[in-house]
Structures are given as structure tokens and as C-alpha cells.
């Protein structure tokens, strides 16, 4: 088992990464305030892993309740969140009751936001079961639900007390979701870890074949990158924004098509190619570097073009994104592989051209 620390003073917490961690309640007990827990999961994950986790906890003397939500980004909304609150209030969950998110990014984001706001905050544990949530969304304390006018618009920064990434849960992940997770893995290489990008170029097929050792390495390296960035800039005043490479374009794709039509990672991949295209057009990225980025995404099974919504529609949706300051779009662009930069000065004509070049 690998053990990383997210360093945030008194809110620091460990990320445990390994095979078959779900059965081992002793990994969770130190993070429980009292022996009461509510596991939140979805209809897809529940039949696979819920019984395993619940029995391990119950055998350790923990009183466990379960909430099973519908699956998918389309349900990351208030009515679904409210089902968690109904269950907590119906079951008389207390301020000391721990919420456990068992599932992908949607479950983690919603459970985290429920934990942040139920009785103004209760303890919370992340057990991510998808590659995307293991390498990205479970770490760093961003929680949220969507609003019809924008993704993740209502949320909170709220850190979990522990993250448990069980690589064994990736065995049941559909290929498409595995690829979607690789988009966020590649991102770390692109924004700050060129050696990792090189490693990914050499090992992308092993990852897609679910080689356990390769997956463990990629999850740990990704989490290490994320933890370092979050420790520097927890609430995204600066450095943390670089983690949003491809996300402003990507959110426009997700919102424009309707939540859940494209997976988040797929939208991020196409968005990253748009950001790379824009970086190339600004002279910050060479054609050879661009080609490496496109090639790795393709080999990861990811889309390298966005849907043809029209550049104006993209821009309109992007202006609703959170990455806007004083009316200017703030974009994460690349100045090479392993080097990201935050730019608020790029004209909309150039942005529109990059969108057109990378959508079809």
C-alpha cells in the first residue's frame, strides 16, 4: 500500500493507494469520529462494492446506513443531493456521523457537498472507484453540484479526512471510463510533470490493459502532483487553476451537449486539444509538441476534437464558467510539455479560431 499526505495544516489527510483496501475496515476507523457512518453510492457501484464495504465496517462495530443514488452527471443536481439530506435526517444522522463516498466523481462531489453543508459540516471520507476520481476529483476538497446554467456552480471547498483508492475497483470500470480517467492523468504530465508525460507515452497501452502495477504508479504519481498543488493553493487563488487545463473548453462541451452525453474526461481531452491548439497559434507550443499531445490522447482512446457547437456558442458557455475575472476569460495554456500558464489576455478571435480548428 502506498501512503501520501495532503499537507493542509490541521486539515491534512492521507491518501491510501493499493489493492483490495475495501475489505480492511482498519484503514477507515481512524477517520471516523464516532461509530456511525452513512455510505453514499450509486446504482452501478452498489451491486459491485457496497456489501463488501458495509460488512467490513459492520464487523468492526460501525453502525452503517446506505444511500443509493441514480448514476451519472445528469443527476449531480439539487433533487439528488436532497435525497442524501432526506436520508440523513430520516436516519437522525448527527454532526459526528461520517459520510463515506463510494463511487466516481459525481458521487464524491455530491457526497462531499452534502458533508460540507449537512448541519454545517460533518466528517467525510472518499473511496473513489473510477480512475478519474482516484487521480483527481477525490483529492483536494472541491465539492459541488451542477446548476442548469453551469457546471459545479454551487459547492464548497471541504476536505475529506481520508482518501482510499482501491486499484482493484478499476477492474470493473468500462473501457470508456478508464480512458476518460486517463485524460486527467495526462493533464498532470502536461501542466507540471514532463517525466510523467514521457512515462505515459511509454506505458499508455499497459494502463489501458489494466496492468495493476502501471495503474498503481499512475494513480500515485497523479495524486502526488495534485496533493502538491493543493497544498500550495487550496482555494484556487492562483497555482491550482492550472489543474483546469482543458476544463473551461470542456465544461462548455458538457453543458452545451447536456450533462452526461460526453464523459467529463472526454470533454477535458477535447478541451485540452483546444488549449494546445491555441497555445500553438500563439507561438508557445511547437508543432512537434502539439503532435505528441494529440497522439497520446488518441492512444488513450480519447476524443481529440470537440463537437461542432460553433465557436460563438462555446464562447457564450465559457463566459458562464467560474474562470472569469473582471469580464475576461482566464485560460490555462501550455508553454511546452510540463509547463502551464494562466492567461487572461487572449483575444476572443484567437480563442474562436482554436475552437473551430479542434471541433467537428
Catalytic sites, residue numbers: 120, 142, 184, 226, 236, 240, 244, 247, 251, 264
Q: Which residue, 1 or 324, has its beta carbon nearer to a second copy? A: 324
Site for a second copy in 267-306 (CB under 8 A): none
Binding status of residue 11 toward a second copy by CB under 8 A? no
- Specify the stretch interacting with a second copy by CB under 8 A; choose among 153-161, 196-204, 248-256, 258-266: 153-161
Set of cell numbers at residue 40: 453514499
Tell me: does residue 120 bind a second copy (CB under 8 A): yes
Site for a second copy in 216-255 (CB under 8 A): 235
- In degrees and rounded to multiples of 5, residue 210 shows phi and psi of 60, 40
Q: Which three cell numbers stand for residue 204?
A: 499508455
The CA–CA distances, whole Å, from 131 to 17, 171, 185, 218, 261 equal: 12, 10, 9, 10, 19
Closest separation between CB of residue 163 and a second copy, Å?
A: 19
For residues 77-116, which are near a second copy according to CB under 8 A? Answer: 78, 82, 85-86, 89-90, 92, 94-96, 116
Nearer to a second copy, 3 or 235 (CB): 235
Print burial letters for 172-207: b (CB count within 10 Å at least 16), e (below 16): ebeeebbbbbbbbbbbbbbbbbeebbebbeebbeeb
**319 lies in the site for a second copy, by CB under 8 A:** yes
- Work out which of 1, 65, 74, 156 binds a second copy, going by CB under 8 A: 156
Q: From start to end of 241-297, where are the E strands?
A: none
- Based on the shown chain and the rule CB under 8 A, indicate whether residue 209 belongs to the binding site for a second copy: no
Question: Cα(282)–Cα(331) distance, rounded to whole angstroms?
Answer: 13
Residue whose cell numbers read 479526512 = 161
Among 4, 144, 204, 270, binds a second copy (CB under 8 A): 144
Q: Which residues contact 213 (CB under 8 A, 6 or more apart)?
A: none
Query: Binding residue for a second copy (CB under 8 A) from 74, 154, 231, 353?
Result: 154
Half-sphere exposure of 167 (CA within 13 A, CB side): 18
3-state secondary structure of 120: coil
- The DSSP bridge partners found for residue 334 are 340
Selected from 60, 320, 353, 356, the binder of a second copy by CB under 8 A is 320
Task: Provide the binding-site residues for a second copy, judged by CB under 8 A.
Answer: 34, 78, 82, 85-86, 89-90, 92, 94-96, 116-121, 142-144, 147, 149-150, 152-157, 235, 319-320, 322, 324-327
Amino acid at each position: 500500500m502506498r501512503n501520501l499526505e495532503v499537507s493542509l495544516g490541521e486539515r491534512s489527510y492521507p491518501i491510501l493507494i493499493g489493492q483490495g483496501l475495501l475489505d480492511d475496515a482498519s484503514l477507515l476507523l481512524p477517520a471516523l469520529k464516532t461509530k456511525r457512518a452513512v455510505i453514499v453510492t450509486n446504482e452501478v457501484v452498489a451491486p459491485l462494492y457496497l456489501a463488501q464495504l458495509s460488512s467490513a465496517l459492520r464487523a468492526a462495530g460501525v453502525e452503517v446506513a446506505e444511500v443509493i443514488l441514480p448514476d451519472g452527471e445528469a443527476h449531480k443536481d439539487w433533487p439528488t443531493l436532497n435525497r442524501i439530506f432526506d436520508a440523513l435526517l430520516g436516519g437522525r444522522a448527527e454532526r459526528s456521523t461520517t459520510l463515506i463516498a463510494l463511487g466516481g466523481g459525481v458521487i464524491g462531489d455530491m457526497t462531499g457537498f452534502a458533508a460540507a453543508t449537512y448541519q454545517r459540516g460533518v466528517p467525510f471520507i472518499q473511496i473513489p472507484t473510477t480512475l478519474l476520481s482516484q487521480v483527481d476529483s477525490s483529492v483536494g476538497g472541491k465539492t459541488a453540484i451542477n446548476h442548469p446554467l453551469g457546471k459545479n456552480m454551487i459547492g464548497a471547498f471541504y476536505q475529506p479526512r481520508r482518501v482510499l483508492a482501491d486499484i482493484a475497483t478499476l477492474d470493473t470500470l468500462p473501457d470508456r471510463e478508464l480512458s476518460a480517467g486517463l485524460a486527467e492523468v495526462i493533464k498532470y504530465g502536461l501542466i507540471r510533470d514532463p517525466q510523467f508525460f514521457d512515462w505515459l507515452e511509454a506505458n499508455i497501452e499497459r494502463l489501458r490493459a489494466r496492468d495493476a502495477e502501471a495503474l498503481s504508479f499512475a494513480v500515485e504519481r497523479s495524486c502526488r502532483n495534485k496533493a502538491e498543488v493543493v497544498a500550495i493553493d487550496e482555494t484556487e487563488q492562483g497555482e491550482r487553476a492550472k489543474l483546469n487545463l482543458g476544463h473551461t473548453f470542456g465544461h462548455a462541451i458538457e453543458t452545451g451537449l447536456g450533462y452526461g452525453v460526453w464523459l467529463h474526461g472526454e470533454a477535458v481531452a477535447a478541451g485540452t486539444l483546444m488549449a494546445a491548439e491555441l497555445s500553438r497559434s500563439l507561438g508557445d507550443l511547437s508543432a512537434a509538441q502539439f503532435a505528441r499531445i494529440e497522439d497520446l490522447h488518441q492512444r488513450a482512446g480519447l476524443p481529440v476534437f470537440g463537437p461542432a457547437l460553433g465557436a460563438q456558442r462555446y464562447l457564450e458557455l465559457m463566459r458562464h464558467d467560474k474562470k472569469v475575472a473582471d469580464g475576461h476569460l482566464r485560460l490555462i495554456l501550455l508553454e511546452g510539455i510540463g509547463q502551464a500558464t494562466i492567461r487572461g489576455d487572449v483575444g476572443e478571435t484567437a480563442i474562436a479560431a482554436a475552437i473551430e480548428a479542434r471541433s467537428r
